[in-house]
Copies of this chain bind each other. A is one copy, B any other.
């Protein structure tokens, strides 16, 4: 979807399920290792390593789980008040092409990012309490498998958002 120049054109699709080089890079050493891994991958593709990109990656490395785009812009701005939102948005697009982040949509349609998800997953959101859970592996396998067999449709699992009411909210209300 992003019209960003794609460093290694197969990377966008490949990074999703392939053993992820960023995963190991970030595993122990954290931010510096992730920076180095991203920097190298960018240069391989003729892309550039800039202070703005570095800042965002450092912010991402400090982030657990889900984060809204606006929060990321805000955290970048804490480090550097001169941060420009459109640069952050464009960098996120690029990092998604690389497989460093995945986005999904919250019930209101706004974007939310997941940093280095260990495996692709969909989400369950409760409209009543605002809770969010990852879809279990076997549940998403069934959804993906069903649509693959029936319609020949290849589901983008990380983009699956299922909204409703969780058990707790149904019982109490």
Interface set of A (CB-CB < 8 Å, partner B): 1, 105, 107-111, 124, 126-127, 133, 136, 139, 142-143, 146-147, 150-156, 159-167, 170
Contacts and interface: CB of A to CB of B under 8 A. Distances in A.
Nearest to A168: B152
A31 to B, nearest CB: 29
Contacts of A109: 105, 109-111
11 contacts: A1-B127, A124-B147, A124-B153, A126-B153, A127-B156, A139-B147, A142-B142, A153-B166, A156-B163, A159-B163, A160-B162
B151 A167 contact: yes
Nearest to A109: B109
Contacts of A142: 142, 146
Which of A153, A159, A165 has its CB near the most chain B CB atoms (within 10 A)?
A: A153
A62 to B, nearest CB: 26
A61 to B, nearest CB: 26
Contact of A146 (B107, B111, B139, B164): B139
Nearest to A161: B161
Contact of A136 (B150, B155, B161): B150
Contacts of A165: 153-154, 156
Contact of A139 (B1, B150, B154, B159): B150
